[in-house]
Structure 1
C-alpha cells in the first residue's frame, strides 16, 4: 500500500477514472504543457517492412538527464491529457520525452493500410529501437498507461534480445488479462463500454477515409457493443479466428514477463473498474519486477486533490529519479524522515 490517499469524493473509482482525462484537468495543466509543446516536433518513424509510426519529441536546449518514451492507452494518443500531464512533469524535471502513438491512434491513420491490433508488438519494438537510435542518451526509460502499460512491459521483456537498452520501465494500470478486462467493460458500468465503442468506431471511420478498400463501412453502423465489434474485426482483420484467442495473445499474466532483464515497476489500484487487482498475483515473479497497488485511484486516475494534481506524475518522476540518482534520492528520503 502506498501513500496515495485522495480526500472525500475523490476516493470514488469512477470519479478518478473520468476526472483524469477531462477538459477541466487539461486546462489545469495548460501552463506546464505549453512549455512542453514549445519544444516539441512531430516525428515519423520507419519501423521496417513498410510500417511507419509517429510521435512527438520534446527536447531541451541543454543536455537532458535522459530520454523517456511514453505510450498512451487504447484509443488515446500522444495528446491525451494524462500523457501530456506526465510528459510535462518529466520535461520540467529535465528529461527529454518522446510521446509515441500506436498505429491508428492520434494522427497516424494514413501511415499504414492494415488496422491496429494489440498483438502488433514487433512494430512497437522497432519504433522504440528507432527512437533510441535517433536520440541516443546514456539513460533511457519507458512509461505506459493502460494498454500502453501492457505494451511497455511486453517490450521490456524482449528489449535486450531486440538490441534495446532500458534503465527502467513503468506501467500505470497496465492491462493484465484482456479477457477479464473485456468482460468488465461489457458487464460493468455502461458508460465505459459506450465510450470505447464510440471512440473505436470514430477511429475506424477515419481509417476508411484513407483506405476505403478495407470494406467494413456497411457493417460499422450496426455495431453497438465491443463484443459485436470483436466478433467481426478479429476474424476479418487479425490472424486470429476467435476473439478469445486474440485477447489471450496479448495478456501479460502467466510467464510472459519472465524475460525481464531490466527493472520494471507496476502501479495499480485495488478499485480499478476495468483491470482486476487480483490478477497482479498472476504476473510472473521476477527480481526485476516490483508492484505497488494503491487502495484508490480508479483506472489511471490518481487525482490527488481538488486542484487536479496528479500523484501518478509525481510518482513516475520519483521512480525515474530514483533509478537515475539512487544515492541522492536515498539521502533525501533519510533527511526527510529525520526532520
Structure 2
C-alpha cells in the first residue's frame, strides 16, 4: 500500500437532496482550495471507500466523493431501485458540482465507476478537466455475457457452479434474468444476493483471495450490491449497446489515463483497448500481472502516477 497517500479523514460531510425522494451522502477531503476531483465508486452499490481518498495528493487536490443512489449511506438505502438509473446518477453529479461551486473537475472511477465516469464526461465534456479510469466496463452485451453468461466460467469453473446453484436448471441459460426473479422473492433473496456477490469476490483479483470473497459475501453488502447490479445490468444501464465507446469522440481534448489489468477476468482488457482507440489523446496503461482489483500488483502505482501527473 506504499503507492497510496497516508490515510486521510473526510474534511466535510453531508447530504444533498437530488429529488425523487433521494438524498446522496457526500464527502470532501484534502485541500479546499485544491484541484477538484470527483471519485466514483464501483458496484453499482459498493459505496464510498476510505481508501479512495488516498489516490490523491491531499495538498494539491480537493477530493469529492459520494454514495450513489441506493448505496452506502444515501437514502433510501439498501439497494433502493426507484428513480435509480445511470442518467439519474449523471444528473446527481451535475447537481453536486453546482452545489459545490466547481466549474470543472477531474473524474476518477473504476469498474462501474468507469461506466459512470464515461457517461458523465460524454454528456458534460465542458465540465471535465481530466479522466482517470480503471478496469473499464461499458455494459455492452458482450461484456455482460462474458461475466454472467459463461465466459469467465472457463477460468473459474468451481465458482461458476456456485453462482449457478440458486438458479433452477431450466433458467441457467440467462442468469441475469433468473437472478432478477430470485432477488424479487423475499423467501430466497438474501441467499441469492450472497451467491451473486461471492461470484464477484471470487473473480476480482488475479490470485483468488478469501478475504475478497468474505467481504463481498457479507449479507448487508451483498443485498445492496446484488440488487443494484442486477437492476442496472438487466436494463443495459439504459445505454444503447456500445454507446459509451461509440461516443468516445466527445472526449477529444480531455486528457485521460486508462489503467487496466492484463488479466482482468471481470472486465477483460479488450474493452479498455477499444475505448482507447476511440478516445483521441487517451493513454492506456496495461498492467502486467494484474487482474481487476485495485490492489493487484502495479495498479495503485499507475493510478498514483496519473493523479500526480495531473496535479496543479
Normalised to the residue count of structure 1, the TM-score between the two structures is 0.61
Equivalences for residues 36-115 of structure 1 within 5 A: 36-37=8-9, 39-60=10-31, 63-64=33-34, 66-74=35-43, 75-79=45-49, 84-110=50-76, 114-115=80-81
Moved more, 68-77 or 49-58: 49-58
Distance in 2 between residues matched to 1:46 and 1:143, nearest whole Å = 23
- Which of the numbers 241, 244, 249 marks the counterpart of 1:258? 249
Q: Which runs of 5+ in 1 are unaligned?
A: 1-24, 198-213, 325-339
- Which of the numbers 121, 136, 143 marks the counterpart of 2:108? 143
Secondary structure (helix, strand or coil) at the match of 2:48 reads coil
Aligned-pair distance for 1:260? 2.1
- Which of the numbers 284, 289, 292 marks the counterpart of 1:296? 289
CA offsets 1:213-242 (integer angstroms, 9 cap, x no match): x96312414634579x9xx979x967x9xx
Distance in 1 between residues matched to 2:287 and 2:5, nearest whole Å = 29
Q: 1:4 aligns to what?
A: none
Aligned-pair distance for 1:100? 1.8
Q: 1:158 aligns to what?
A: 123
Pick closer, same or farther for the CA change 1:297–1:233 going to 2, 3 Å.
Answer: closer
Pick closer, same or farther for the CA change 1:115–1:60 going to 2, 3 Å.
Answer: same
Pick closer, same or farther for the CA change 1:250–1:91 going to 2, 3 Å.
Answer: farther
Secondary structure (helix, strand or coil) at the match of 1:57 reads strand
Q: Does 1:32 align with 2:6?
A: yes
Secondary structure (helix, strand or coil) at the match of 1:167 reads strand
Q: 1:168 aligns to what?
A: 130
Q: 1:127 aligns to what?
A: 92
Normalised to the residue count of structure 2, the TM-score between the two structures is 0.65
Aligned-pair distance for 1:267? 1.3
Secondary structure (helix, strand or coil) at the match of 2:289 reads coil
CA offsets 1:159-214 (integer angstroms, 9 cap, x no match): 14xxx6110111111214431233445554368779999xxxxxxxxxxxxxxxx9
Pick closer, same or farther for the CA change 1:250–1:47 going to 2, 3 Å.
Answer: farther
- Number of residues paired by the alignment? 257
Equivalences for residues 174-323 of structure 1 within 5 A: 174-176=136-138, 177=140, 178-179=143-144, 180-183=146-149, 184=151, 186-189=153-156, 216-221=185-190, 223=192, 224-225=195-196, 243=234, 249=240, 254-261=245-252, 262-283=254-275, 285-301=278-294, 303-304=296-297, 310-321=300-311
Distance in 1 between residues matched to 2:124 and 2:55, nearest whole Å = 25
Distance in 2 between residues matched to 1:192 and 1:215, nearest whole Å = 23
Comparing both chains, which one has the higher relative contact order based on Cα–Cα distances under 8 Å and sequence gaps of 6 or more? 1
Secondary structure (helix, strand or coil) at the match of 2:291 reads coil
